[in-house]
Structure 1
Amino acid sequence: MRDLPSLKSLRAFEAAARNGSLTAAANELCIGQGAISHQIRILEDNLGLSVFVRKQHGVELTPEGALLFASCNRAFDDLEGVVQHIRPRNTQKILRVKVGPFFSMKLIAPRISQFLAENPGLQIHLSHLETNTPATGTADVIIDYCLHPPPARFSQRLLRERLVPVCGKAIWEAQVDKHDLLCGNRLHYRGLQEWQSWIASSGLRLTPSRQDLIFDDQHIILEAVKEGQGVALIDRTMVEYELRSGQVCLAHDHFYEPNETYQFVCQEELFRTKPVTKSFLGWLLQEIGDRQRRYAEIAHVGTVG
C-alpha cells in the first residue's frame, strides 16, 4: 500500500498552489473555501509541516510546498494525458486551447474558420490564459509566452516578437519631425523595460518621453495608439491589418526582439495520439509565416513622406 496523502487533499493543494488562492481553487473545484482549507489542513497534518504561508491576498508556497507542487503538477499532467488518450474517439473532435487574449484576437480569430473548414466536425474551445499564469490546466494546447518552455512536454516556437514603434495616422501626418515623435507620449505594456531596450538597441539619441503611460492590456494600448494618444511598441505580426489599412503607421522601422517567445505547448503523448493537435500547430505556423512574408508589402507604410 502506498504511503501517500489522500487524492482529495492533493487535488485541493494543487489547485490552490496553481491559483495562488484558496478562493480561486474552491471556485475551480466547485466546492466551498472551507472545504479547501479543510483538505489543506488534512494534508499538512499528514506531512507534519506547512505547505503554504497564508498572505493577506492569497497563499504562498513554502519550500517544501513548492517541491510537492512540482511533483503533483507532473503527476496530474501525466494522468490527464493518459485519460485523454483512452477516452472514446469522439473526444478527438474537441481541441481545447488556452492562449493570451491579444494573440487569440490578432492571430487566431481572423482566419480560424479556414482551419475549421479543413477539419469538419471539430470543436475548438478557446480560453484565455494570463501571460503570467503557469501553463497548466485541462487544455490540450497552451500557447505560452515564456523565456523557456515547460520541461517534459512537446513545445514548438511559434513567434519571436519584433517590436516596432507605431502611432496613429493623424499624429504621424501632423508631426514634421519624426525623431521628435518618438520622444512624445510613450505607451508601455506593464513596464518601461521594452522601450528602454528598443532605444538602446536602436542607437538613437532620444530625450526622455514627455509622458509615460503604462497599461496591462494590449488591446487598450492599440486602441490608444489609433486614437492618437502616443507611440507604442507592438509586434509587427500583431498589427499587420492596422498597418495595411492605414489605421497606424510605423514611427521607425528599427525592431527589438525580446528574449521571451510564444510557444506551442502540449503533452508529448497527446501530440502523438491526437492528430488535430499537430494539424493545429501546422496551421498556426502557416498563418504566422504568411503574415511575416507580407512584411515586404508594408515595409515602408508610414515611413515614406
Structure 2
Amino acid sequence: MRDLPGLKSLRAFEAAARGGSLTAAADELCVGQGAISHQIRLLEDYLGLRVFIRRQHGVELTQEGTLLFTSCQRAFDDLAGTIRHISPRTAQKILRVKVGPFFSMKIIAPRISEFLAQHPGLQLHLSHLDTNVPASGQPDIVIDYRLGAVTGKFSRQLLRERLVPVCGASIRNQYNSVAELLCSNRLHYRSVSEWQSWIATSGLMLGHSQQDLIFDDQHIILEAVKEGQGVALIDQALVEQELRTGQMFLVSEHSFEPQETYQFVCQEDLFRSKPVTKDFLDWLLREVALRRKQQDSAALCLD
C-alpha cells in the first residue's frame, strides 16, 4: 500500500501552486477558500513541513513544495492523459503531436489531408511549443531530433538525414569556385559540428568560413538560404521542391549522415491502446520513404 496524502489535499495544493493563490485554486475547484486552506493544512500536517509561504497577495512555494508540485503535475498530467484516451465518453478522437516546425512543414503538412481522410472525426493537434500549454493538453506523440531511442518509452526512428550543402540563387555565381562558395557564410543548426563533420568526410581542403551563423530552427535556416545569406547543410529529400524550382542549388553532392535522428516517441501503453498512434507512425514512415524515393529518382535523372 502506498503511503500518500489524500487526493483532495494534493489537488488543492497543485491548483494553488499553479495559480499562485488559494483564491485561484478555490475558483478552479469550485469550493470556498476555507476548504482549500483546510486541505493545505492537512497536507502540511501529513508531511510535517510547510509547502507554501503565505504572502500578502498569494502563496509562494517552499523548496520542498516546489519538488512536490513538479511531481504532482507530472502525475496528474499522466493520469489525465490516460483517462482521456480510455474514456468512452470522448466523442471525437484527438491526437496531440509535439514536433519541430521544419519537420512539420516538410513531412507532415504537404499531404496530411490524406491521413485525416483515412480517420474521419480525428482532431490532429500539432504543437511546436517547448512548453506544455494546459489548453492543448499533454502530447500523445513527440517527434524529437535526438541521439538514439528514449529509455522507457516506445521509440522508432523516422528519419536519418543525409545532409548536403545548398545555397540560394542570388549567391550561386558570386564566387569563382565551389570551394570559395563553401567558405562563405556558413549557416549552422544548433552547433558547428555538422559542418565540421561534413568537411572532414568530403575530402576537400577548405578554410574557415567568412561568418558562422547558428540557428536553433531549421525553418529559419531554410529562409536564410533562399534569401542568399549563406550556405547550409540540409537533408536533400526535404528541399527537393526548392531545388527543382531553382530557389536553391546543390553546392556539392557529397552527403553526411549525423548521429542524431528524428525519433517518434510515445508511451508504450498508449501505442498499444490507441490504434491511431500506430497509424500515424506508419503514415510518417511512408511519407519519409516517398521523399527518399523521389530524391533517388531525381539523382538517377541527373546521371
Query: Residue type of the partner of 1:272?
Result: R
TM-score (norm 2): 0.74
Query: Residue type of the partner of 2:3?
Result: R
Does the Cα contact within 8 Å between 1:244 and 1:298 map onto a contact in 2?
Answer: no
User: Does residue 1:6 correspond to 2:10, yes or no?
Assistant: yes
Q: SS where residue 6 of structure 1 aligns?
A: helix
- Shift in CA distance, 199/297, structure 1 to aligned 2, threshold 3 Å: same
Residues of 2 paired with 1:44 and 1:150: CA distance? 36
Q: SS where residue 233 of structure 1 aligns?
A: strand
- Shift in CA distance, 74/217, structure 1 to aligned 2, threshold 3 Å: closer
- Shift in CA distance, 93/67, structure 1 to aligned 2, threshold 3 Å: closer
Residues of 1 paired with 2:217 and 2:223: CA distance? 10
Residues of 2 paired with 1:194 and 1:47: CA distance? 52
- Shift in CA distance, 271/228, structure 1 to aligned 2, threshold 3 Å: same
Q: Which residue of 1 aligns with 2:98?
A: 98
Residues of 2 paired with 1:236 and 1:295: CA distance? 7
TM-score (norm 1): 0.73
- Shift in CA distance, 129/161, structure 1 to aligned 2, threshold 3 Å: farther
After the TM superposition, which of the residue ranges 138-147 and 171-180 deviates more from structure 2?
171-180
- Shift in CA distance, 291/12, structure 1 to aligned 2, threshold 3 Å: farther
- Shift in CA distance, 89/265, structure 1 to aligned 2, threshold 3 Å: farther
Which protein shows a greater Rg? 2
Q: Which residue of 2 aligns with 1:55?
A: none
Q: SS where residue 294 of structure 1 aligns?
A: helix
User: Any residues of structure 2 matched to 1:1-305 within 5 Å, and which?
Assistant: 2-4=3-5, 6-9=10-13, 46=47, 75-76=75-76, 78-88=78-88, 90-91=90-91, 93-130=93-130, 138-299=138-299
Residues of 1 paired with 2:73 and 2:150: CA distance? 11
**Could you say what the CA RMSD is over the residues aligned between the two structures, in angstroms?**
3.9
Could you report, residue by residue, the CA deviation over 1:226-245 in whole angstroms, capped at 9, with x for unpaired residues? 12221011122321221222
* Structure 2 segments unaligned to the other structure (5+ residues): 30-36, 52-62
- Shift in CA distance, 285/8, structure 1 to aligned 2, threshold 3 Å: farther
Could you report, residue by residue, the CA deviation over 1:49-84 in whole angstroms, capped at 9, with x for unpaired residues? 99xxxxxxxxxxx99988995x66874565245313
User: Residue 150 of structure 1: CA displacement?
Assistant: 3.1
Residues of 2 paired with 1:164 and 1:190: CA distance? 16
* Structure 1 segments unaligned to the other structure (5+ residues): 17-21, 32-37, 51-61
Could you report, residue by residue, the CA deviation over 1:31-62 in whole angstroms, capped at 9, with x for unpaired residues? 9xxxxxx9xx9999947599xxxxxxxxxxx9
Could you report, residue by residue, the CA deviation over 1:163-192 in whole angstroms, capped at 9, with x for unpaired residues? 211111343245441122111111122332
User: Residue 115 of structure 1: CA displacement?
Assistant: 0.9
Residues of 2 paired with 1:160 and 1:245: CA distance? 25
User: Residue 141 of structure 1: CA displacement?
Assistant: 1.2
Could you report, residue by residue, the CA deviation over 1:93-147 in whole angstroms, capped at 9, with x for unpaired residues? 22111111111111111111111112222221111144xx79xx61111111122
What is the count of residue pairs matched by the alignment? 273
